[in-house]
Chain A
């Protein structure tokens, strides 16, 4: 065999793979700062969070935090919307804003050499938005169209209905973008009031991950954010889970070429270790072509193209489910097979080999997610906002590795033991 080498570029000696090391501190005004220096990358991710999320909304003002997040990019006291877009684009970076269940955020990503400018823009957007009434009307129009357009996507409609049924009259069950009625009602004063109360340094978190020097980043942040005045901010709201009268069995009629099944479990949260046990359980059920659901429902019988497990985990809310798309004549059989696999997990220990494969899968996932600066910043932000302790990569891998076969059977027993699943179909 000939091996013709065309090009070889020599690489520099690499830093240790076990980074990042996380630095965390509070400024005197209460601003929570986390910096993860990652010298081997060429970019930087800047995530700025306010502890203001959809959990604070009522049925009347649902969609308020989303609308506020979108309006942040409509201009500040020193930059027009166009200036923001142009200045960010000129660095080669990007900026966005969004609202979640427990937080609102401004997220920027840029080449590391533009760190100072992009941090300035992100802070400007978060702290000095114009919140102009005429802009609100334009943004409202866009949001109302978005809401209407989603009706064309059956999976979105299906999952919105599931959320509403599992969490009646609860912010978790409401669409985060709001409804046509609630968005039409919101005023510029609502937005300004919300911004003034929540976008204060002692209610915020700044996460920086990328090729920045710790010393200079700290100095810069101190100079830019140290002068912001703290103010009393409303405490985070965690509405209790609404009661349900037994298990739900709902069918949504929709013109779809393929029927959908979603089998859900809802419970009041899970602790940190439980979260890692659940991740391994999920891997055994649906990650990879040899996972149990994939093998039983797809490979052996050909009933589905897609069968998957998903979950949403907050300290006080856990929603877990199995989703599948199939021919409507197979819906009952797919449901039976899924139930059977879940039941088996409550009765029998998984094999050592199966556990090892699932743990390796999760380890590779953790390491892969750390390749990107925004993956690293995203982990840090989501962890702190959810009130979990920050862990180094090796500690996370250690937690995955600590999961035992008994842990899995116990958790499966708690979640699936009663067999009381909420079942939703669309056909």
Chain B
């Protein structure tokens, strides 16, 4: 379904271990380019929580001015960074004719840091504002409260930008050491998508990285939270006006043998107007259309990491309808576990998933996001490979995936209701003292 007629996809690996993925799209007069580093908040402890994100901010800084950012922006591009659980990304999107100038800027930004104490203190202030701003969204707050409860002592329960406490503790030397440890070419990769010539773009990347040697990157050792013994529920009463409900299960993430089955279960159950839960909650009962995949309220990267993932659905309803909504969701989860999905419904779900994918792939950034996700998963795919994987899913494998994941003991349920009376007084005090809803 994706249109690859004007796409020329290549993947190279430099001697120092840096993979370079280039999709030359002659129909495009802009170009997206990202440098990805395999490090994020899962590499942190409670003490240095937020250091990956702090570093990302600092790389945009140089003592005095910001010539690298200026260099990219002078090409007409925008430049930005993003930190997740397992990777950090630096990217630009600019006019294709300006690729080399922008690339030189991005390389310099990521690989030639020169921030000092002053920049660290300024960025600390800015990140504290970022953390405060995020606390105005009750869903994000509820998400982290739930993760802390459901995944105690796991870095997955820690916020990516850090906490006020951890951020105030992080020192420049720790940040520099963190950089030295993880920012090695064999722990990074580059994705370029757009109206560039493959050979010239590759040559620009090769030239920049020639002098950088592979580093002794520590092996990734993530601890998976212990398997649950029974259904885990968290019921919060806090400063919200409406009720919210989220149901989630942990998956094996990118390692899962049922990765594509879970994507289709997402479509069948809760994604889009044709999904079972949407039809029941909105069309038939008229309760709400505030229905979204859990990944919409959680950081997107939480959906599928290298060895663990989170599948789920979240709804907002009037408080009085919350129990009914919970029952509807549990009934639908139970149904998909016990009744095979009809062939026609599964076929429609696959078309829906691939249709959305085709639209995403019409933009350079959408394509780059796809290539990066597959590279991070250690399974580099073309768009055609992806289509084949989705189409290979059968009713039988969906049934197996549902039975495996939706066992009652795997279910995590979060329900958030407005606090009343004394609970409300406590919630207000919590807000005034800890700035926490």
| Residues on A facing B (Cβ under 8 Å) | 1-15, 17, 40-43, 73-74, 81-82, 84-86, 88-95, 109-111, 137-142, 145-146, 148-149, 151-155, 211, 255-258, 287-290, 298-306, 325-327, 353, 356-357, 359-364, 367-368, 371-374
Interface SS majority for chain A: mixed
A143 to B234, CA, bound (A): 28
Residues of A within 8 A of B286 (CB): 137-142
Main secondary structure, interface of B, reads mixed
Instruction: Looking at the assembled complex, report how far the CB atom of B84 sits from the nearest CB atom of chain A, in whole angstroms.
Output: 18
Besides the contacts A90-B348, A257-B132, what 10 more A-B pairs have beta carbons closer than 8 Å?
Answer: A9-B7, A81-B283, A92-B1, A140-B286, A141-B286, A148-B318, A152-B240, A257-B135, A290-B66, A367-B29
Pull 22 A–B residue pairs with CB atoms less than 8 Å apart, ordered by A. Answer: A1-B210, A3-B202, A11-B25, A14-B25, A14-B27, A17-B27, A86-B274, A89-B272, A89-B348, A92-B355, A92-B358, A110-B355, A146-B289, A148-B242, A148-B318, A255-B437, A289-B69, A325-B133, A327-B129, A353-B74, A359-B76, A371-B30
- Tell whether B75 is near chain A: CB-to-CB under 8 Å: yes
Inter-subunit contact B351/A4 (CB<8 Å): no
Q: Does B420 contact A (CB under 8 A)?
A: no
User: Is A149's CB under 8 angstroms from B352's CB?
Assistant: no
Within the assembled complex, what's the spacing in Å between the Cα atoms of A380 and B123? 41
Is B78 interfacial (CB-CB < 8 Å)?
A: yes
Q: Are B136 and A155 in contact (CB under 8 A)?
A: yes
Residues from chain A with a CB closer than 8 A to the CB of B202 are 3
Contact-residue size bin, chain B (C-beta under 8 Å from the other chain): 35 or more
Known A-B contacts A111-B355, A139-B286, A258-B132; A363 and B76 likewise in contact (beta carbons under 8 Å): yes
**Nearest A residue to B319, CB-CB:** A148
Question: A61 to chain B: closest CB distance in Å?
Answer: 21
With A8-B10, A145-B288, A148-B318: A299-B66 Cβ-Cβ less than 8 Å: yes
Which 3 A-B pairs have CB atoms at the shortest separation, nearest pair first?
A: A92-B355, A360-B76, A138-B286
Q: Which residue of B lies closest to A17 (CB)?
A: B29
CB of B5 within 8 A of CB of A11, answer yes
Q: Verify B274–A89 contact, CB threshold 8 A.
A: yes
Q: How far is the CB of B111 from chain A (nearest CB, A)?
A: 16
CB closest chain-B residue, reference A138: B286
Q: Which of B326-384 contact A (CB under 8 A)?
A: 347-349, 351-356, 358-359, 362-364, 380, 382
Q: Which chain A positions have C-beta within 8 A of B1?
A: 42, 92, 111
B259 within 8 A of A: no
Mask: chain B, 54-96; 1 = CB below 8 Å from A; 0 = not: 0000001100001001100111111100000000000001110
The chain A residue sitting closest to B127, CB to CB, is: A305
**Of B12-20, B246-254, B406-414, the one touching chain A:** B12-20
> By the criterion CB–CB under 8 Å, are B241 and A7 in contact?
no
Which A residues are in CB contact (< 8 Å) with B318?
145, 148
Contact A91 B351 (CB under 8 A): yes
- Given known contacts A153-B137, A290-B70, A325-B129, A92 and B352 CB-to-CB distance under 8 angstroms: yes
Considering the complex, give the chain A residue whose CB is closest to the CB of B416: A152
Q: Report B160 CB to chain A, min CB distance, Å.
A: 14
Residues of chain A lying within 8 A (CB to CB) of residue B351: 89-92
A41 touches B126 (CB 8 A): no
Residues of B within 8 A of A363 (CB): 76, 95
Known contacts: A5-B12, A90-B351, A149-B290. The answer to whether A14 contacts B6 by CB under 8 A is yes
CB atoms of B136 and A154 under 8 A apart: yes
Any A CB within 8 A of the CB of B392: no
Cα–Cα distance between A19 and B243 once the two chains are bound (Å): 49
Interface code B275-316, partner A: CB below 8 Å = 1, 0 otherwise? Answer: 000010011111111100000000000000000000000001
Complex CA distance for A372 and B30, rounded to whole angstroms: 13
B359 & A372 in contact (Cβ 8 Å cutoff): yes
Closest chain B CB from A127 CB (angstroms): 20
| Distance in angstroms between the alpha carbons of A192 and B9 in the assembled complex | 52
Cβ-defined contact, B78 with A287, below 8 A: yes
Kindly provide the distance from the CB of A43 to the nearest chain B CB, expressed in whole angstroms.
6
Tell me whether B2 is interfacial, beta carbon within 8 Å. yes
Does the CB pair B282–A142 fall under 8 Å?
A: yes
Neighbour of A364 across the interface among B8, B93, B356, CB < 8 A: B93
Identify B9's interface contact among A8, A15, A85, CB under 8 A.
A8
- Considering the complex, give the chain B residue whose CB is closest to the CB of A74: B283
Assess the B364–A7 pair: CB atoms within 8 A.
no
Minimum C-beta distance from A317 to chain B (A):
28
Q: Given known contacts A89-B352, A372-B363, is B316 in contact with A149 (CB within 8 Å)?
A: yes
Chain B residue nearest to A356 (CB atoms) is B74
CB distance from B147 to the nearest CB of A (A): 19
A303, B29: Cβ atoms closer than 8 Å: no
Answer yes or no: B46 CB below 8 A from chain A CBs: no
Is B404 located at the chain interface by the 8 A CB criterion? Answer: no
